Amino acid sequence: MEVSRPETALGADSGQKDGSSSSPHNLFVKWSGKEFEIEDINGLETVRDLKQLLQSKTGVHVDRQKLLNLTYEGKLAQDDCVLAKMSLKVGQKLMMMGSLEKDIESVNIPPEERPNVNNDLDVPDDCELPVESQEVYMKKIERRVKEYKISVINPSRPGKKLLVLDIDYTLFDHRTTAETPGELMRPFLHEFLTASYEHYDIAIWSATSMKWIHEKMRLLGVSSNPQYKIAFHVDFMAMISIHMPKYGVVNVKPLGVIWGQFPQYSAKNTIMIDDLRRNFLMNPQSGLRIRPFKSAHTNRHSDTELLRVGGYLRKIAKLDDFSNLNHKKWETYERKSNSSKRRRSQSSSGTDSSNSKR
């Protein structure tokens, strides 16, 4: 493994393809949740050469690979593009999309018969932490509160509630092949974030490393959108592992790490949205499990989940305390609160039964 080098731009004229006198020029490629380092691209001539090397590392066939943020003159770089002509930086991060042949064949197998990928393992609705180990987990959280550094991007705003969002399958289909990140973005993402920003500080928490969170947010246009600002990013280092007798060791996102560092947020004003229920095992009452956004090409014309969850967030934003809510029933809350509004307007005597936990 090489030591990290400063991020210097190798411009169009600085490429020395013989590799004899140039210093090594590395790249990082993220694919399917894994990171691969290309230690030196100086010996490679074209994008196709790079893809061939990636095929040897990942098993994804050259023709199936899409390097999402590898562009040349503003467009997705074609296979015959010469690497030395592209302004690739040392240590640059590329996102690769593409499926293995065996996975393409397995598309015809019903999901319930496919082998479980541990990363996607979820727990059932009624799953609870073993009580006897709670103390151990609280200790782990305390340690994270002391030692973990949350990446603050914009200051928290007084009086706002907190919305914590997962990325993969919640905001973005990270496993489908596409030409542009926009094709994989969950529909209405920017509308959802813009509307939520009015009442909530927004945090992103993803089970990957900080550099990939920054990169994904950049690719989706979240970090540059003028309509809202992200308060902070939290990465996999803030997660803790817990042992579930039935499922083995799973990694979860304990909100206590955030609450310990930002005392203005608590179970009373925080909601976490994730496609995996297990991520909020340490604070199940604060979690809303969203349907995963997968198969983007099929679903991106019909998925309205963010619009609907956004409506729920807007409604509950009026409450002083979230700790009586049951987010499992968020869809009913929408309907009940609409019908009770209708009742009120008809008789002016209705009461909002909504979805309190009782």
Q: Is 168 in the site for Mg ion (CB under 5 A)?
A: yes
Specify the residue, 144 or 186, whose C-beta has the smaller distance to Mg ion.
Answer: 186
Write down the least CB distance from residue 295 to Mg ion, Å: 15
Specify the residue, 84 or 164, whose C-beta has the smaller distance to Mg ion.
Answer: 164
Write down the least CB distance from residue 241 to Mg ion, Å: 17
Write down the least CB distance from residue 298 to Mg ion, Å: 19
Q: Which segment (44-52, 81-89, 212-220, 267-275) binds Mg ion by CB under 5 A?
A: 267-275
Q: Please give, one letter per residue, the 3-state secondary structure of 242-302.
A: EEECCCEEEEECCCHHHHHHCCCCCCCCEEEEECCHHHHCCCHHHEEECCCCCCHHHHCCC
Specify the residue, 51 or 253, whose C-beta has the smaller distance to Mg ion.
Answer: 253
Write down the least CB distance from residue 274 to Mg ion, Å: 6
- Tell which one of 81, 94, 144, 166 touches Mg ion (CB under 5 A): 166
Write down the least CB distance from residue 206 to Mg ion, Å: 8
Answer whether 245's CB lies under 8 Å from 237's CB: no
Q: Is 275 in the site for Mg ion (CB under 5 A)?
A: yes
Return phi, psi of residue 72, to 5°: -140, 125
Q: Which two tokens stand for residue 159?
A: 């009086």
Rounded distance between C-alpha atoms, residue 324 and residue 343, angstroms = 23
- Tell which one of 31, 137, 169, 232 touches Mg ion (CB under 5 A): 169
Q: Is 215 in the site for Mg ion (CB under 5 A)?
A: no
Specify the residue, 168 or 303, whose C-beta has the smaller distance to Mg ion.
Answer: 168
Rounded distance between C-alpha atoms, residue 130 and residue 281, angstroms = 11
Q: Which two tokens stand for residue 322?
A: 């979230």
Question: Which DSSP string corresponds to 185-221?
Answer: BPTTHHHHHHHHHTTEEEEEE-SS-HHHHHHHHHHTT
- Tell me which residues touch Mg ion (CB under 5 A): 166, 168-169, 275
